[in-house]
Each structure stands twice: as structure tokens, then as C-alpha cells.
Amino acid sequence: MKASTAKLGPNIIGEIEARGIKPGTVLSQIEMFERGLPPSDLVRPCTPGDGIVRIRNEAESHAHYYESESARRSIIKFVPASGAASRMFRELLAAGQGGALSRGRLEKAAKGGDRDSEAVLRFISELGKFAFHDDLESALEKNGYRMRELLSAGEYGEIVRHTLGPGGLNYSNLPKGMIRFHKYPVHGRTAFEEHLAEALCYARDGEGRARVHFTLSPEHTDIVSGYIDGVRGIYERDGESLDVGYSVQKPSTDTIAVDMENRPFIGDDGKPVFRPAGHGALIENLNELGCDIAFIKNIDNVVPDRLKEETYLWKKALGGYLLRLEGLVSGALLKLEGGGGHKDTARELGELERMGLEISIPEEAEKASRGAASALLVSALRRPLRVCGVVRNEGEPGGGPFWVRGRDGSLTKQIVESAQVDMGAPGQKAVWESSTHFNPVDIVCGLRDHRGIPYDLHGFIDRDAGFISVKSKDGRDLKALELPGLWNGAMAFWNTVFVEVPLMTFNPVKTVFDLLKPEHQPRP
């Protein structure tokens, strides 16, 4: 190792260790840059009957099972929430840099095909439909402006600035979860609040406590925790409480950047450059939750109360499906630990396969002794378990469920992102484009084994499932390494079941205009 670390140099090693990163980890990352990361080998998309299970007629049964069993389990709702709201307002931010936001200038630019100007005009024309309208009007009045007068005069600059900037709502500098998404008669709700309301309906333990965990950017932790402390009382009722936790992506999960010759990239300040390694680093946060079951859902996928009942039904149905799968896995493992063999577990394995969890028995098990064969089957069964809701693909960008060929020749079900696929390789683009379903990040995870022992999630990561991209810093190109995504490579060696869920359970808010969709508006 000394010879290997010598190429880093003592100054670089000092910076690495100051971040809590081992030099050997950085050397492994540099080796990845040198050899490249293999793309996913898509065999075919998962489809209903071939990798995707349909349970619509059984959803209520599974939901009732979850309700009857969940009180004895430790449950948490895990919400990746570090996304910045600035992405929602990209067009408004761009238009604000292009000159005065007067009606005349914007209309002229829009006629010339300027989409940012079109976006501002649409934003203004639909202003009354946004849940943050009254907050915006109050912020304007506080600074001596009247919204009605600005609208009448066609002077939209202050309206946009008070939406996005300091002194107003400051939305361009806040996390997405703090944007007021939905109108209610008394108190409009932010995305954070909708998640609190949801958690109390399907993530409660036997004592009426709902645990929610948000992952945040470090700069937002104080403002978010203070905000949630101020509103949580609105949702807590007699006998029900919220236990809200927070964490940030650890600096020790950052990855080193390299130059185009795969040497550590040294910035103009003389220090090696590290970059956040993507949401795959959140496997560290998930690993530390200390719970039996985790529901994972993105911060922007929420609906108002009038549409929540079906959402709750399907969350509970996925949870019940997971618990039934866990029961079968536990039964099989207890038989194997009691000296049973493959034949003794035939009922459990057959039922697991019927429910969409195909347990592959390695070929060597057939030639192995009874004890060795049982050990191989235990290894295949004793893994973290996830039930992933998938929806019909309606053209949303993002990953989907596929059958993927591993480097050992095995065939497994994976959630794959387009960045993981070599679209130029023979047949790969055609397989990608033939996909019928989409991953909406609606996942229920079983994090303990049949003995109640927490899995160490580090042991089930495909560390070659990340990807390398070219960025720039200080006017120079660099290569950046993104770790395997949380629900991609970071869960690659989990046992996985895909369940089709209704499209109405997937209502993401990627731009501010998504809030104008009927699903996010008050009842017509």
C-alpha cells in the first residue's frame, strides 16, 4: 500500500484524511477512473408477468395485513430532501437575468420564441392558483408594493424577485420541501408538511408515533428543523406524535475528482478537489436508521388530502406485501438453520416465486454437499428486501425496472438509469426504449433479518454501478465519479420485487408549473 499511496503525495493524503476518507478508498476511486465503469447489460425490460407483479385485486387484503402487523414493527419514512427549489424556477431565474421584466418586453421576446419569457408570462397569468400567492402578496406589501398595482402596470420584476429572492419568499435559496405546494382553507402546506401528514397515516408504530427522516443539505438543516418544529403541532393529535430526524450526506462519502489523465485534480487553491457522490451516498444514512421497515419516497411526490386515500391504500399494500414476503423468507431460513435442505423449503420458495421473488439457486448447489447447498440458499435468502412500486411509463425522465445480466452471468431485477446504459452497444438502446414501466421511488425496505439483526447495507452494493462524467473547475476539465444510486447500484444485491401501482400515486413537482396540474389544485 505504501508504494500505491506514494503517488498521492503527503499533501494530498493529509487533505484526504482530514475529510475522514481513507487513502485506500481514494486509490480505489482512481482505479475506477483508470479502468472505467462497466455499463449495465440490459437483457429485457421487466413487464407484468415477467418481473412485475400486479396486485390491484389484492391491494386491500395486503393493506389490512399491514395494519394488523405493523404495530409490532419499527417503521420510518425516509425522504431524500436535499433538492434545491431553484430547479423549480429555472426559467424565471434565467428570465430575470435577461433584462427588465415588463409585460411589453416579455411579450415581444415570447413572440420571438424566448421560452423563459413565455414562462414568466404564464407564471404571472396563473399566479392566483399557486398556494404561495397570499404569502407572496404579503411579502410585497411588507416592502411597500401592491401586487394588484404591479399586475395592472405590467411591471412583473418585483413579483418575480419577491418570489425568488431575499426580502421576499426567497424560494431560489430554499430546499424544495419548503415551497408551499397545496392550498387548504386555513393553512397551505409545504411538501415537508404533506410528508408529516402522510407519515401519521401509514408509518405509525404501536404507540402512535410516526418516525420521519429527512436527508438535507448541510446549509438547510437549521432552517428546516426550525420550520418543522413550528408546524408539527398542526398534525399531531391525541395519542399520535411525530418523531422527526435529519441527516446530511457525509463528507466522507465525497469522491475525488481527477484530471483527464486520471491524476488527482488540484484546484487553483492547491488542494485536491472532492465532489458529492450523488444520492447513492445516502445508503450510509439509511444504514444508520435502526428500524425494521423504511418507506422511501421523494420530497416532491405528494398530493393534497383529497387524493391521499388511494396513496395510503397502496403504501399499506406495499408494506403488507413486504411483510408477507418476509414471513416466507423467515420460514425458509429457520428450516435451513434447523438442518433442513432445499426440498424442505419448497413451499416457501414456490410461494416467494409466485409473489415475484425469484430465489436463484447457484448451479454449484446441485453438486455440493447438503450443508454447503443449504449455506448457498441461506446466502441467497438472507438479504435486505425491497418492494418497489412501479408505474406505467408516461414519458417521465428517469430509471425503470429491467432484467440485467451480472458480470457473473446471473440475471437479476434492477432499477436502471439511462446514464448506466451504453446506448451505442448492440441492442441496448432498443431494450431501453421497449421499457413499459417507470420507477417513481415508491419503495418499502426490510432492513432486518429473520432473527431481528440489522443488515449491514454496505455488503449489498455493486460498487461498479456508478458512472463517470466530465465537469469543469477553474477553467479546466475534470472527471467526476458518482457512486451507485441509492435505488440502483447501492441496492443491487438486495432481493427485489416490483409491484405495479396506479399512476395517480406518482405526482412529482419538478417545475413550478407542475403545481398547476389538477392533482395539485383544490377540488374543482
pLDDT tens-digit series, residues 283-297:
999 999 999 999 999
The segments of the chain whose pLDDT lies below 50 read: 1-3
Quote the pLDDT of residue 1: 38
| Distance between CA atoms of residues 502 and 319, nearest Å | 16
The pLDDT value recorded for residue 416 is: 94
Instruction: Identify the helix (H) or strand (E) that includes residue 469.
Output: strand 467-473
Q: Which three cell numbers stand for residue 295?
A: 418507506
Angle at 312 between CA 311 and CA 315, to 5 degrees: 85
pLDDT attached to residue 3? 39
Q: What Å distances lie between residue 245 and 76, 213, 256, 283, 289, CA to CA?
A: 10, 5, 29, 16, 10
| The three cell numbers locating residue 46 | 421487466
Distances (CA, A) of 74 to 205, 288, 385, 452: 6, 14, 15, 11
CB distance 359 to 381 below 8 Å: yes
pLDDT given at position 249: 86
The confidence score (pLDDT) of residue 368 equals 64
pLDDT at 2 (0 to 100)? 41
Report residue 5 as a C-alpha cell.
499511496
pLDDT of residue 341: 76
Predicted TM-score (pTM) above 0.75: yes
